[in-house]
Structure 1
Amino acid sequence: MSCSSLEALTRCSVAVDLGAARTRVYAKGTGLIVDQPSVVAVNTSSGALIAVGDAAERMDGRTPQHIRVVRPVAGGTVRDIDMARRMVRSLIGERLRRVRRRRVMAHAAATVPHDADPLACRAAVETLTGVGARRVELVEAPIAAAIGAGLPVAQPEAAMVLVCGTTTTQVAVVSVGAIVAAGTVGLGGDTIHHAVVQYLRNRHELLLPSQEVRPLHLALLGSGGVGNGVYTGLIDVQGRDVVSGLARTVTIDPEEVRSAIQTPLTGLLDTIRTVLLRCPPDLVADLADRGMVLTGGSAVLPGLADQLREHTGMGVRLAQEPELASVNGLAALMAGRLAPNPAAEEEAQGPATAGAARDALSGPHPLSGDREVIGAPESGAAADAVPVPGQEAG
């Protein structure tokens, strides 16, 4: 797939991470201005938007027949361009009006999966041009996440990053600013959630509403269930009895969740092994020392890190703010850096490499290679563009 050069990315003023779970928008000079669920509630009779983001997500499973809750993004790819446009326009419209700068959406950056085909890339571009962007630069999600996690992507040594999404997980090994080997598995937070729900149904005869699975995971996080393999305390789970249909509370040991997610993790472990087999031996040796870094909203799932550590024998580290790694990586690229901040860049890349990366603004960066930059035509914003101060809509 195509990818943009570092020089082109520095001209961007807005970065958009369109995920299946959440949409995040970063504005240069302002910071993160949108962090909302990628959900739309629409009236099927009139076609009118009822709600977007948090408000729409709260409606899921609770709406009458004439209101449909839509998730226009799946696996990091836009599936419904029209709904995605309307969602993004609604989420960023008012916020961009508060950013009192002319043509703030003129040049945008966005992430796409490593294995995205041309149609998927075009869908991402058309979504953003539909809300006012005149040009869109695309960056592979593992590259953005690796940079956002502070990995030394410009160095001639291996760095493994996992982008743990809602429906898919991308596994990539990065070296010298490019992806050496990568794989994608159809396993994400939703898969883990489903495994937990099925376990509670089969083992405890308890039906757990889908919206209660995440609070359960958050409770498990508070019990020490992330990364360290140590689980303390019992968790009360409320649901509906399978037999009687009445509300019931059961108490579970957090260790039960570990066994519940073992089966769906098999596919992820296989993908990691396949990616390692595709890597040159020298890079595999680097990974034996450095291990892997987990990014994405599902990276914090209880038991994930220690299960990977146990079954691969590699070190596993959770990125700082893993859910923001991709958008933070885009923000760094927009600033002409290969790390989230200058200090991290100097530490991760070394002064010489970091300086060379900044000097690369005058020419192609390893991210681009000889690949064509994907972008919309420079002229003619879409008719339904988001209005910004000093610029009429239209």
Structure 2
Amino acid sequence: MGLFDFFTSELAIDLGTANTLILNKDQIVVEEPSIIALDRATGKVIAIGKQAMQMHEKTHDNIKTIRPLKDGVIADFHAAEQMIRAMIKMSKVNNKFFATSHRMVICIPSGITEVEKRAVRDSAEHAGAKEVFMIPEPVAAAIGIGIEIDEPMGSMVVDIGGGTTEIAIIALSGIVCDESIRIAGDIFNRDILDYMRRQHNLLIGERTAEMIKIQTGAAVTELDGDAPADFEVRGRDLVTGIPKIISVSYQEVAFALDKSLAKIEDAVLKALETAPPELAGDIYDRGIHLTGGGALLRGLDKRISLKTKLPVHVAEDPLRAVVRGTGIALKHIDQYKPILMQ
């Protein structure tokens, strides 16, 4: 190990709309919600990650909670920078005696603009990065689930995150065709929130909508095997203004999410339509791979499979596939240079 290596740490970062994961030396050192709580008067960071999430939608006038990323890209530059810096500090990769410089590989949505790309790079550099590389999210997801992306075989990855759904057909270390739509976990939460208001006259917050999605979320109204139990929802009655509890079934959640899921299906079909015929043959054999938090939605694989008539595989650990792939690209940086952007 040279002197330079001693002062350099290598970080793979999945900077997500809902969650941020940081990987160092094959270990996930940070896995926190992408949210930060600030003091309104001084601008000082009060909490980040899980702690800030507990404060979300419960704050008084002196505290504000910010989710710096929207639709997979940085919406609040200053807050994003503070959040990245604080999360790097949480990862404890800094040398005790000297300031450590970081080489970072950060994954980004494939449909990102140059301006949005620059915002990611600037935030990382302000947070202490000496070298910043960027990798498209679906490519990182493919590497993370063990697909050999440099082969002349086509693979299709659908990565459903918090802000965007990334659909890509990958071959020969590159994206042949892709679709990026801003319908993902956050929109699902909003759908559930709207449904509760319309159907049950119940006003709930973002966090409760997220809990409903996780505990009893489904993509189809009939599930084979283990169906989740009904979930008790607490909120405010819009008629009386008094808090009340109601039970919600997975069928209701599937109904609430139906329109958004149909848009994801359409985007998958659109990507398949634009695929070269030879690659279409590979996808027929290999099927579609689902990654990201949205892949955990019960019955989503069955729903997409019915629509496309193709086999659909849910990745083993869909939430961490992207960060693991980013880590592998960082470890073998020379091998993956063609797909990394600086």
Q: How does the TM-score come out when normalised to structure 1?
A: 0.77
Alignment of 1:1-150 (within 5 A): 13-28=10-25, 31-96=27-92, 104-150=100-146
Q: Does the CA contact (< 8 Å) of 1:229 and 1:303 recur in 2?
A: no
Which amino acid in structure 1 is aligned with residue 17 of structure 2? Answer: A
Spell out, residue by residue over 1:2-57, the C-alpha distance to the aligned partner (whole angstroms, 9 max, x if none).
xxxxxxxxx9711111111111111126x111111111111222211221111111
Of the structure 1 ranges 95-104 and 135-144, higher mean CA displacement relative to structure 2 is found in 95-104
Give the equivalent residue in structure 2 for 1:251.
247
The 2-side partners of 1:96 and 1:225 are apart by 45
Structure 1 stretch displaced more, 186-195 or 289-298 = 289-298
Question: Partners of 2:82 and 2:62 in 1: how far apart?
Answer: 19
Q: Decide whether the 8 Å contact of 1:226 with 1:300 is kept in 2.
A: no
* Residues 113-140 of structure 1, C-alpha deviations (whole Å, 9 max, x = no match): 1122221111111111112111111111
Kindly indicate whether the alpha-carbon contact (under 8 Å) linking 2:290 and 2:313 is maintained by their aligned counterparts in 1.
Answer: yes
Query: Which among 353, 361, 367 is matched to residue 339 of structure 2?
Result: 367
SS in 2 for 1:120: helix
RMSD of the alignment, in Å?
A: 2.7
Verify the 8 A CA contact 1:144 1:327 in the aligned structure 2: yes
Task: Report SS of the residue matched to 1:322.
Answer: coil
In 1, distance between residues paired with 2:244 and 2:329? 50
How far apart, CA to CA, are the structure 2 residues paired with 1:220 and 1:35?
23
* 1:331 is aligned to 2:335: no
Sequence identity percentage: 28
What's the CA shift for 1:104? 4.9
SS at match of 1:134: strand
Per-residue deviation, 1:169:
0.7
In the alignment, the residues of structure 2 paired with residue 37 and residue 270 of structure 1 have an alpha-carbon distance, to the nearest angstrom, of: 29
2 CA distance for matches of 1:239 and 1:335?
47
- In 1, Cα distance between the equivalents of 2:9 and 2:237? 53
Distance in 2 (alpha carbons) for counterparts of 1:134 and 1:119: 20
5+ residue gaps in structure 2?
A: 1-7
Deviation at 1:99, TM superposition (A): 6.3
Aligned length: 334
- Cα distance, 1:145 vs structure 2: 0.9
Judging changes above 3 Å, is the alpha-carbon distance between structure 1 residues 318 and 167 closer, same or farther for their aligned structure 2 residues?
A: same
CA distance in 2, matches of 1:278, 1:226: 32
Higher relative contact order (CA 8 A, sep 6+): 1
Q: After the TM superposition, which residues 206-225 of structure 1 pair with which residues of structure 2 at under 5 Å, given as runs?
A: 206-220=202-216
Q: Distance in 1 between matches of 2:156 and 2:93?
A: 39
SS in 1 for 2:234: strand
Measure how far apart 1:233 and its partner are.
4.2
State the distance in 1 between where 2:193 and 2:185 align. 12
Q: What is the letter of the counterpart of residue 262 of structure 2?
A: T
Taking a change above 3 Å as real, the CA distance of residues 68 and 251 of structure 1, as seen in their structure-2 partners, is closer
1:180 positional shift: 0.5
Q: 1:94 to 1:12 in 2, by over 3 A?
A: closer
Structure with a larger share of its residues in strand: 2
Instruction: Give the counterpart letter for 1:231 in structure 2.
Output: A
Q: 1:108 to 1:97 in 2, by over 3 A?
A: closer
AA of the residue aligned to 1:241: D
SS at match of 2:129: coil
Distance in structure 2 (CA, Å) of the matches to 1:153 and 1:67: 45
1:250-289 equivalent positions in 2, closer than 5 A: 250-289=246-285
> What are the within-5 Å matches in structure 2 for residues 151-170 of structure 1?
151-170=147-166
Give the distance between the partners of 2:121 and 2:224, measured in 1 at CA. 40
- Equivalents in 1 of 2:277, 2:86: separation in Å? 49
